[in-house]
Structure 1
Amino acid sequence: MVHFVGAGPGAPDLITLRGKKFIEEADVIIYAGSLVNPQLLNYAKKGCEIHDSSKLNLEEVIDIFKNAENNSLDVVRLHTGDPSIYGAIREQMDELEKLHIDYDVTPGVSSFCGAAAALNMEYTLPGITQSVIITRMDGRTPVPEKESIEELSKHGATMVFFLSSGDAGRLQERLIKSGVSNDTPCGVVYKATWEDEDKFTCSLKELPDKMNEHGIRKTALIIVGKSVAQSGYEKSRLYAADFSTEYRKGIDA
């Protein structure tokens, strides 16, 4: 059996109880060494076989799966954050299906949630935005034309950029050319929830310079949108005294 497990954003106590249980029981662990906090491996039992996938290609990962299956061993494939977001798990699951190896997925806390917690922010503020766009800049991995920065910027929603902190200048340039005001609030969180976490807020105009000041070029999320300011929002109608719900009758209703 192969268990794809979301490791969470970084802090070892932010893994789910189910994910921790699978790690404790695993005979083999394959973890994304470039992103997953190695402290999570402290949960592994003595004698567990551990592989760092940052040094492996897909075929080598699949070979480990096959060898474990042939020896009736349980595997944990440990991915950073939640494995459904930029986790490259579909290609692994397809190979497992071809090999008739059973697998399941345990979700994890995504780093975009960890980043919001680090900034004490709410993404979906009434009157500001009710949508969050999770995306990335194109690079060696292309982005569909309809999902370009220019197209997504038209929505005015909060935008969370993964895998884009290495070229903040190009991101800033493309956002401004797309019509995003250069005074738009931005938040940057480096290694959210890790011990060496770094974070700051600034305007879009200041973004590249601030990232250079902090020495941030990778492993960071960039959040762009009015919600970063955490001001000017409307209070939720759900908790308004005159708002009736299935569970509570409004005072003046």
Structure 2
Amino acid sequence: MTGTVFFVGAGPGDPQLLTLKGRDLIARAGAILFAGSLVSEAATQWAPADCEIADSKDMTLQQIVEWLITRAQKNETVIRLQTGDPGLYGALIEMVQPLDAANIPVSVVPGVTSAMASMAAACESLTLPEVTQTVIFTRVEGRTPMPEGESLAELAAHHSTICMYLSITLLKTIRKELLIAGWSDQSPILVVQKASWPNEEKIVRGTLADIRERCLEEGITAQAMIVASPTLGARHWSELKKSKLYDASFTHRFRKASTEEKQP
């Protein structure tokens, strides 16, 4: 009888943003393999004293899988601790397939992704009524090609919120593609490096025209989320469309519409 390998989302950086389920699994783990290039070792602080903890930053996929299989043969609970959410740019299926082939039980625990943490750090909203109700998670084509129909220019043509992962070194390309899609050089851009990481988070605001220069001035060259959105800066708008959900004239299953809103 083998143990179970749990793919646990470590969240964006702050260990306090681990889910309770993830933390509880860490607390009973016999072995933990964490992605040290992206996950703080502080996320393992709840592990038992005798838990085997290893860093995978210099491992290949095959070595990672072999480590997980070997430990699952000796421990009831084995954890692969991954940055953000395991299912988003996490090579999840590439690791699960050989575990399936080895008859190792697998379970996935979701985590907070850096797009959410970045917008929270900046006190911004991904969506706004009558501005955009759509959020796109993507990356810019570099050494890894993008599927047909998913170029940044094609996605940006929707003029919705775009959260760009793994792309901070490609800001020139981002500007070019967004301009092709009809965005203005004055469009607001948000960059957050190491969102939620204690004492390491950096927030940079700019426009499509100057965000690259601003990031270079701050020394931001890795581990950064880029957000282009028509919602950015809404906190300071003089006029804002309100959500229908809380409109006194709007009926839903928990409240009937009223013609006059009662004063508090």
For the superposition of Structure 1 and Structure 2, which TM-score range results when normalised by the shorter chain? over 0.9
Where does residue 59 of structure 2 map in the other structure?
56
Q: What is the Cα deviation at residue 73 of structure 1?
A: 4.0
Instruction: Give yes or no for contact 1:172–1:208 (8 Å, CA) kept in 2.
Output: no
Where does residue 228 of structure 1 map in the other structure?
232
Separation in 2, partners of 1:180, 1:137: 16
Is 1:189 the counterpart of 2:189 in the alignment?
A: no
Q: Structure 1 length as normaliser, TM-score? A: 0.96
Where does residue 245 of structure 1 map in the other structure?
252
Instruction: Give yes or no for contact 2:99–2:106 (8 Å, CA) kept in 1.
Output: yes
Letter of the aligned partner of 2:156 in structure 1?
A: S
> Number of residue pairs matched?
253
Letter of the aligned partner of 1:224 in structure 2?
A: A
Give 5+ residue unaligned stretches, structure 1. Answer: none
Where does residue 71 of structure 1 map in the other structure?
74
* 1:134 aligns with one of 116, 133, 137: 137
Instruction: Give yes or no for contact 2:165–2:224 (8 Å, CA) kept in 1.
Output: yes
Where does residue 31 of structure 1 map in the other structure?
34
Separation in 2, partners of 1:187, 1:233: 20
Deviant stretches of 4+, over 6 Å:
none
Letter of the aligned partner of 2:214 in structure 1?
A: K
Separation in 2, partners of 1:181, 1:204: 7
SS in 2 for 1:97: helix
Instruction: Give yes or no for contact 1:128–1:233 (8 Å, CA) kept in 2.
Output: no
Is 1:208 the counterpart of 2:220 in the alignment?
A: no
SS in 1 for 2:213: helix
* 2:156 aligns with one of 135, 147, 153: 153
SS in 2 for 1:96: helix
Separation in 1, partners of 2:69, 2:29: 15
Separation in 1, partners of 2:75, 2:223: 36
Separation in 2, partners of 1:239, 1:221: 31
Q: What is the Cα deviation at residue 157 of structure 1?
A: 0.7
SS in 2 for 1:54: coil
1:129-180 CA distance string (max 9 Å, x none): 0000000001121111201011101111110000000121222122213321
Instruction: Give yes or no for contact 1:187–1:222 (8 Å, CA) kept in 2.
Output: yes
Q: RMSD of the alignment, in Å?
A: 1.3
Separation in 1, partners of 2:113, 2:230: 21
Is 1:42 the counterpart of 2:55 in the alignment?
A: no
Instruction: Give yes or no for contact 1:82–1:110 (8 Å, CA) kept in 2.
Output: yes
Q: Percent identity?
A: 38
Is 1:198 the counterpart of 2:202 in the alignment?
A: yes
Letter of the aligned partner of 1:204 in structure 2?
A: L
Give 5+ residue unaligned stretches, structure 2. Answer: none
SS in 2 for 1:200: strand
Letter of the aligned partner of 1:10 in structure 2?
A: G
Separation in 2, partners of 1:94, 1:131: 32
Is 1:89 the counterpart of 2:92 in the alignment?
A: yes
Separation in 2, partners of 1:39, 1:72: 22
Separation in 1, partners of 2:161, 2:65: 37
